[in-house]
Structure 1
Amino acid sequence: MQIGVIADTHSKMRPEALAVLKGSDVILHDVKILDIDPQGRYRAVIAGHSHKSRNEWICDVLYFNPGGAVPRRFTLPITEGRLEVNEGGVAGEIIELPV
């Protein structure tokens, strides 16, 4: 299953962002509420808001932030993300959009 992850659009959807999301089985947008299992039985934590992309494994958990897909803020790149989920687990990818 392919999951498109986009955050921090501030109600502005870039055509380049839509092109990357095309073909996704599921699209997550501006994920803000997380229900974290106190027993730690999860494979990925997905968050946005900071505009800083992150695709990092810590202790068998993927911490994933697609970054920001709005006009450039500060010197951060314009990005969104993609997760691939299959029987083997989950893999994340950060995709930088052209300016």
Structure 2
Amino acid sequence: MFRIGLLSDTHGLLRPEALAFLRGSDHIVHAGDICDASILDQLAAIAPLTAVRGNNDVGPWAERLPETCVVDVGGLRLCVLHDIAQLRLDPADGVQAVVTGHSHKPRIAREGGVLYVNPGSCGPRRFTLPVAAAELLVDGGEATARIQELV
């Protein structure tokens, strides 16, 4: 079993609860709106990291991050981007999962054989939305997702 920890929209706040949830991950994906480069260092200290730039990520450190990436992790092909409205590829072309952020609303859906996961926001609380992260569990090339409310 391969565990991919998912988070998004930290907005400069990496909560201890998020770090605790991510411990034990084989890989971590941050789907943008990081807002502080030191967060990437903290996550990379736990597990290999894939991160994309969100609309609030600015400055030289953020310019080094891609807006979208496709990566093979744990036998799974993932497409990672911040805002699903900017999805430009056909996920059915070999992509098994799409990880996004931006809305701050946790969501898991399967459409056309592709797993879509938005882990929600694990940074500052926004309105009445939950503070959450997620995980992908990969076994034999098949993935299941789970949302975890943190506080």
- With the length of structure 1 as denominator, give the TM-score of the two structures: 0.89
Structure 2 residue aligned with 1:76, among 129, 138, 142? 129
Aligned: 1:59 with 2:112: yes
Deviations 1:33-76 (A, max 9, x none): 14535762221111111101111111211111100001210111
With 39-48 and 88-97 compared, the bigger mean Cα shift is at 39-48
More helix by share: 2
Whether 1:89 aligns to 2:142 is yes
Paired residue type of 2:10: T
Normalized against structure 2, the TM-score is what?
0.60
Unaligned runs of 5+ in 1: none
Residue 24 of structure 1 corresponds to 25
| Distance in 2 separating the partners of 1:87 and 1:76 | 34
Q: 1:47 aligns with which of 93, 100, 103?
A: 100
Bigger RCO of structures 1 and 2 (CA < 8 A, at least 6 apart): 1
Identity %: 48
SS at match of 1:3: strand
Partners of 2:133 and 2:92 in 1: CA distance: 29
RMSD over aligned CA atoms reads 1.7
Structure 2 gaps of 5+ residues are 32-51, 53-66, 71-88
Which letter does structure 1 place at the counterpart of 2:125?
R
